[in-house]
Amino acid sequence: MGRIKQGQRRVAIANSNNPSNPNQNACAYSVAHTLYVDDEVRYLHTWGDMLRAVRKLWSMRSVASAVGATTGDLTVGAIRADLMKHAKKNPDVAAYVVRVDEHVLLIGKDGKTMVDTAPRKRDRRKVLDVYGVYIKPSALLRLTNKMKG
């Protein structure tokens, strides 16, 4: 995954679904805000932008193979049980960031949706990426301060 080119960035800003801040798409902003990293980067349009922002305060690792999401045919609804099993085996995970086509959402350790700006009653969106979010010991003090203030 390479960097986004300047022309592509202009298109992303022009097509942003966040009128109050076109530098950040609404779904990515909502996930980043919940994880206290919405102010860590200027842009939140691409998956790379999201990874860069979250990794400022958290450790973020792919758990796709651990939860069986490497085939590309698992849906958000189908992966929830696998995420709960993964969380039981890995109690240090705080949440999961899930990427689907043109969207990103945050799912908790309990398999329930924490943030989804386009919720579905029966979620059949195909999972493209799933990352576990873990507390980064080196950023714990900074994270605690952000949570307080």
**Using one digit for the tens of pLDDT, what is the confidence trace for 52-71?**
999 999 999 999 999 988 77
Ranges of beta strands (E only) in 88-138 are: 93-100, 103-108, 113-115, 127-135
| 136 band by pLDDT with thresholds 50, 70 and 90 | confident
pTM, full prediction:
0.88
CB of 149 closer than 8 Å to CB of 135 = no
At residue 16, the pLDDT reads 86
Question: What does the domain layout of the chain look like in residue ranges?
Answer: 6-54, 58-137
At residue 29, the pLDDT reads 94
Other C-beta atoms lying within 10 Å of the C-beta of residue 90: 14
pLDDT in tens, 74-118: 999 999 999 999 999 999 999 999 999 889 999 999 999 999 999
Instruction: Please classify residue 72 by burial: count the beta carbons closer than 10 Å to its beta carbon, then call 0-12 exposed, 13-18 middle and 19+ buried.
Output: exposed
Cα 110 from Cα 88, distance rounded (Å): 9
Burial 34-57 (b: 16+ CB within 10 A, else e): ebbbbebbebbbbeebbbbbbbbb
| 3 band by pLDDT with thresholds 50, 70 and 90 | low
Is residue 1 over pLDDT 80? no
pLDDT in tens, 14-44: 888 888 889 899 999 999 999 999 999 999 9
